[in-house]
Amino acid sequence: MSDDCASLLPVDPPPPRAPADVEEGAIRTFGLLLEAHTRITRLLDADLQRSTGISLQTLEVLLRVSRAPWGVMTMSELADQVALSTGGVTRLADRLSDDGLVERRACPEDRRRVHLGLTPRGVEVLEQALTHHVDALDTHVMRRIDPADLAGFERVLDALRTAPDLHGATPGRAAGTAAGPAAGPAA
């Protein structure tokens, strides 16, 4: 900190830190997980935007919809699989629809339910983005994990992803993500 900001520092010393054993346990591990996620997400998003003009979030939605049964899913199904609320998914779907990447399809049996499906342009954009994304995943993720550690790492991620919550509810198996196949662990 520069000398001109010294007046912002407290006069009294800072309070004591949390005990070292707490920091070395669950809090440290969770912090590492969050920091790794943030860093990798930023790197992959920037690479994808630079190479294809779409965001990692857009790729994630296009990929999940493409891997859903019959290539369609409801907004609530999509919201359960991505880090957005149902309202957030609806707003994103509006933008993707405006860009010609997805279309809404009314459910014939229940007109209140709306499914999201890819347009031909959405399939084309997804295929192009995946080509670049696989290379970026190799550069930013796979090359940094020792192959001997990969199976164990995937088991840990899958255990965290599928663990029941405090009420016993188990999340649905993801249809696949931008980083993982439908049949395997979704990272």
Give the range of the structural domain holding residue 140, as residue numbers without chain letter. Answer: 24-148
Average pLDDT over residues 24-46: 91
Tell me if 163 is assigned to some domain.
no
Calculate the CA 114 to chain-centre distance: 23
CA-wise closest residue to 67 among 107, 117, 113, 104? 117
Tell me if 178 is assigned to some domain.
no
Tell me if 132 is assigned to some domain.
yes
Tell me if 76 is assigned to some domain.
yes
Tell me if 64 is assigned to some domain.
yes
Q: Model pTM?
A: 0.74
Please list, in sequence order, all residues whose beta carbon lies within 8 angstroms of the beta carbon of residue 80, skipping any fewer than 6 positions away. Answer: 171, 172
Tell me if 78 is assigned to some domain.
yes
CA-wise closest residue to 126 among 62, 31, 30, 185? 62
The CATH number assigned to the domain holding 75 equals 1.10.10.10
Of residues 173 and 78, the one with the higher pLDDT is 78
Mean pLDDT, the chain, as a whole number?
Answer: 83
pLDDT at site 182:
40
Tokens 């290539």, residue located: 71
Query: Is residue 2 scored above 60 in pLDDT?
Result: no
Tokens 């965001």, residue located: 55
Q: How far, in Å, are 29, 99, 163 from residue 22 at the CA level?
A: 10, 48, 23
pLDDT in tens, 67-98: 998 899 988 889 888 878 888 888 999 999 99
Domain count, the chain: 1
Average pLDDT over residues 2-26: 68
H/E run at residue 104:
strand 102-106
Say if residue 186 is exposed, middle or buried (CB neighbours under 10 Å; 0-12, 13-18, 19+): buried
Tell me if 14 is assigned to some domain.
no
Query: Is residue 23 scored above 70 in pLDDT?
Result: no
Tell me if 7 is assigned to some domain.
no
pLDDT at site 127:
96
H/E run at residue 74:
strand 72-74
Instruction: Please state, for a pLDDT cut of 90, what percent of the chain lies above it.
Output: 51
